Amino acid sequence: MERAARRTPEVSLEEIFRRAAQGVPDEDGRAAVVAEALGYLQRGFDSHYASEWGATDDEILVGDNAYAWAVETIARLDEPEFVAVASRMIRDGAGRVSAGGGVDLELWTPHLADLLRIISGEDPERSRQRITTAAGEVAHQRGA
């Protein structure tokens, strides 16, 4: 069975979020926790949707484990607003894949910005600019 093209952004959501959160007041370390959860979330998507013909049993187990780590990680923050945004990310991403597409950074940027806004307390547009700038920097650094 041939592997399909990756169905999530080529760049790491975890790296993008960490970079975007630099300089944002975050005394309690929520940004690092959210970044870690995003890494697990992306791995879960990559495993579950690894092939256009469906994931193997092993890929599903890896994906389920990654999703569980994402939920456990974000739950450490004990803030329902983070869980709500993460749920929308999963719903929107799964919907796009079910329709036969991939999940691009454009789809998830508003969600990433919303997570950053919760931490920073800044204007939603400023958080979106931070995410967009960080995504460009990470992609450039990776040569993507």
d(CA 40, CA 29) in angstroms, rounded, equals 18
Question: Which of the listed ranges 68-72, 103-107, 110-114 does the model predict with the highest average pLDDT?
Answer: 110-114
Backbone angles phi, psi at 71, to 5 degrees: -65, -45
The length of the chain, given as a count of residues: 144
Q: What percent of the chain has pLDDT over 70?
A: 90
Q: What percent of the chain has pLDDT over 90?
A: 45
CA 20 to chain centre: 13
d(CA 141, CA 143) in angstroms, rounded, equals 6
Task: State the pTM of this model.
Answer: 0.87
> Region 40-62: what's the mean pLDDT?
76
> Region 117-130: what's the mean pLDDT?
96
Q: Lowest-pLDDT range, 41-45, 48-52, 115-119, 123-127?
A: 48-52
58 residue type, one letter: D
In eight-state DSSP terms, residue 100 is T
